[in-house]
Structure formats: C-alpha cells, structure tokens
Structure 1
Amino acid sequence: MHMKDSVLAQAFGLIAAMDRDLIEIVSLSLFVSLSAVTIACAIGFPLAALLATTRFRGRGFVVLVLNALMGLPPVVVGLIVYLNLSRSGPLGFLGLLYSPTAMIIAQVILITPIVAAIARQIVEDLHDEYAELFVSMTVGRWTAMRAVLWDARFSLVTAALAGFGRSIAEVGAVIIVGGNIDHLTRVMTTAIALETSKGDLPLALALGVILLMIALGLNAAISAFRFTERRVGYV
C-alpha cells in the first residue's frame, strides 16, 4: 500500500510540477488528435450531408460500408499507412514515416468514418423534418446541404467530440506509423505502454490520469451540448 501511495504521489507531483516530458507528450497528443479531427470533420461533414440529402443508386451500400468502417481495426490501418509511407511504398518519397504527419494520416483514416456516420444520422433526421419545406421553396441540393449542416451545428459538435475521443485514445495505428520516438512521435497512449513496460509507473500513471481527465471532460462536453440542443429545440 505504501508503494502504491508513493507512486500515486509521484504521479500527481509530475502533474503539479508541469514536468517537461509530461507536457511535451500531452501537447503532441493534443496536436495530433485535434489535427486529425479537424481534417476528419472537413471530409466527414460534407459527405454526411451529401448522403443525408441525396438519393442515388447504391446509396444504401455506401451507408452500409461507412457504418462498417467505424469498426476498422487500428493495427490494420497502421499497417496500410506504413506500407504506403515506407521507403519501398508508393508514397515513400515523401519521407513521412515515423513523423507526426504519418500519425495524423492514420488517425484521419480511423475517425473519418465515425464522424461521417454519426453526422449522417444527425443530418438525415433534420433533413426529413425540412424535406417538405425545401420542396415547396424549390431549394437546391447544395443550399439544402448547407442549411441542414448549419442547423445541426450543435449536434455535429457531438460527432466531432466522439471522433476526438477515439483519436486521443488510439495506440495501435500510431505506434506502427509513428514508432514511439522520444521527443518526436511519443503520445500519451504509446508512452503509457512504454513506461509501464519499463517500470516507470509514476510517469505512466500521470499520463493515465490526464487521459482519464480528458475522457471525463469529453463526456461532460457532450452532455453539455446535448443539453444545449434540447434548450434550443434541435432534439
């Protein structure tokens, strides 16, 4: 018990002292995840609006594939990105392997289907409410897409937060394409795995506490946005 108390005290001591290595790892984690979420939203939201407001042959299959991609195995994504970015791969000339950019690419592939699938359901429900109004006003497809995306903006934040939560907790893909290199590609999840295997429990626990705080903060933010939606009448 004394040892556990000591490790816990050291972990909180690292957090309180704003340990340089700790801050560096957390900062890189946030940079990679926020970058990936931003790109995923830029791709996923328009795709969601297109699927929600347009009827075309094969749409059901596209939606089915999109939903299936939500469960992409991270290690498989990491392997695919690695093969493409490695020196012998088609994109090897870019020299991106074992860099934060490679980690962002892997995370974008992982979370874009999640963001798009959640956003599609949100936008489709809203579009169904406005469908008759759009028809009576002869609103064009692109105008309708912009309108429902704007009206669903609070709900879409929930989709973005879900993507961020998935991104910040990712370990399999980022360790393959990032290499877990100290001071370059070491993020919270990969650092926790490494430091635990090395026996450096205070740093691993400190990172775990911060990761848990981020998770709790995300849940609180999602609940707050849902409460806001109810107040403004979106759900």
Structure 2
Amino acid sequence: MDIILEGIIKAFQLLVSLDGEVLGIALLSLKVSGLATLISLVLGISVGTLVALNTFPGKKILVSVVNTGMGLPPVVVGLFVSILLWRNGPLGFLELLYTPTAIVIAQSVIATPIVMGITIGAMQNLPANLRLQILALGATRVQMVWMLVKEARLPLMAGVMAGFGGVISEVGASIMVGGNVRGYTRVLTTATVMETGRGNFDIAIALSVILLLFCFAINIVLTYIQQRERPR
C-alpha cells in the first residue's frame, strides 16, 4: 500500500510541477492515439456502414473477420507492422520504423476493426424499413446514409470510446514499432513498462495514474457528447 500511495503522490507532484519529460510523454500519447482513433473512425464508420447497408456474397465471412479483428492482439499487429516497415520490408524505403508515425499506423490497425465492428452492429440494428422511409421522403442516397449514421450516433460514440481506449492503453505494438525512444517515441504505456522493469514502482504508478486521469477526462467529454441528446 505504501508503494501505491507514494506513486499517487508522485503522479500529482509530476503534474503540478509540470515536469517537461512527463508532459512530453503524455502529449505524445494523446497525439498518436488521437490521430489513430481519427483514422479508425474514417475507415471504420465508412466501411462498416457500407458493409451493413449492402448485401453481397461473403458478407457473413467478412463480418466474422471484422469481429475477429476486434480482439486482435496488439503484439501480433506490432509484429506484422514491424515486418512491413523493416529496413528490408515492403515499406522499408519509407523509413518509418521507430517513429511516432509507425505507432499511429499500428494503433490504427488495432482500432479500425473495433470501430468497424460496432458500426456494422449499430447500423444493422436500425429498423429495416427506415431506409425506405427516408428515401420515400425524397432524400438522396448520401442524405439517407447520413441520417442513418445520425440515428445510430449513440452506439457509434461507444465505438469511438472503445477504439480510443483500445489504442491509448496498448503497449505491445507501441514498443515493437516505436522502440520506446526517449523524447521521441516514448508514450505513457511504454514508459510505465520501462520504469517497472527498472524497479521504479513509484514512477510507474505515477505514469499509470496520469494515464487513467487522461482516459477518464477524455471519456467524460465523449460521454457528454453521446448523452446530451438522448432519444425519447
């Protein structure tokens, strides 16, 4: 208990003192995870909506693949992204390995199936005749899709929170593709693992507390957006 208490006190000391290194790590965590979540939203919602609203051969298999991807282990993602970005890999010429961009790519791969799977479920859960009713009122297909997305906004916001939570808390892929380079690719999760390995449990707990505070603050904002207009 003493170690945990010391870690919590250390966390608030680091926050109040505006420790430069800790702030840099925290801001990088928010930057890469936020960008990865944004990419996953664009891909996940658009492709998920396309899959949900159309019937085609192999749809059930594709949905099964997406649902499997929702539980994709981060270390597996890190492995394959590392191979792709490796010096002799297919994308090695881009020289992205051990950069923040590599972390964004890996985290996007992790978050996209989560958002896509929730989107497919949310869109398929809408009333079957809703599309016909909207089109009958004179809406274009684009307007119809937009209205369906608005109708499913509550579960879609849950997808945003799930996607963001999945990437900001992962550590395996970030270490593998980012390298945990001080001042460059070190994020809160990888720094926590490193400090734990060194036996600096107070700093590790402090970083964990900061991570939890950030997650809580961001989810408060997202929850407020989700719940401000509840359907009657």
TM-score, structure 2 as length reference: 0.90
* Contact 1:11/1:205 (8 A) holds in 2: yes
Matched ranges for 1:1-235 at <5 A: 5-126=5-126, 128=128, 130-134=130-134, 136-137=136-137, 141-221=141-221, 223-230=223-230, 232-233=231-232
* Contact 2:3/2:202 (8 A) holds in 1: no
1:37 Cα deviation from its structure 2 partner: 0.5
1:229 Cα deviation from its structure 2 partner: 4.7
Query: After alignment, is 130-139 or 145-154 more displaced?
Result: 130-139
* Contact 1:99/1:177 (8 A) holds in 2: yes
Q: Identity of paired residues, percent?
A: 40
1:2 Cα deviation from its structure 2 partner: 5.8
In 1, Cα distance between equivalents of 2:3 and 2:125 = 54
Query: After alignment, is 117-126 or 84-93 more displaced?
Result: 117-126
* Contact 1:41/1:160 (8 A) holds in 2: yes
In 1, Cα distance between equivalents of 2:2 and 2:69 = 46
User: Which residues of structure 2 form unaligned runs of 5+?
Assistant: none
1:162 Cα deviation from its structure 2 partner: 1.1
1:151 Cα deviation from its structure 2 partner: 3.3
1:110 Cα deviation from its structure 2 partner: 0.7
1:70 Cα deviation from its structure 2 partner: 0.6
Query: After alignment, is 10-19 or 59-68 more displaced?
Result: 10-19
Q: Could you say if the C-alpha distance between residues 127 and 45 of structure 1 is closer, same or farther in structure 2, counting changes exceeding 3 Å? A: farther
In 1, Cα distance between equivalents of 2:64 and 2:141 = 23
In 1, Cα distance between equivalents of 2:4 and 2:65 = 47
1:176 Cα deviation from its structure 2 partner: 0.2
Query: After alignment, is 214-223 or 45-54 more displaced?
Result: 214-223
Query: After alignment, is 147-156 or 159-168 more displaced?
Result: 147-156
After superposition, the C-alpha distances for 1:44-94 in whole angstroms (9 at most, x for unaligned) are 111111112111121111111111111111111101000010101010000
- Give the paired residue count: 232
Q: Secondary structure at the match of 1:126?
A: coil
In 2, Cα distance between equivalents of 1:137 and 1:168 = 42
1:137 Cα deviation from its structure 2 partner: 4.6
What letter matches 1:168 in structure 2?
Answer: I
Q: Secondary structure at the match of 2:80?
A: helix
Aligned-residue RMSD, C-alpha: 2.2
In 2, Cα distance between equivalents of 1:8 and 1:144 = 50
* Contact 2:44/2:112 (8 A) holds in 1: yes
* Contact 2:106/2:174 (8 A) holds in 1: yes
* Contact 2:131/2:144 (8 A) holds in 1: no
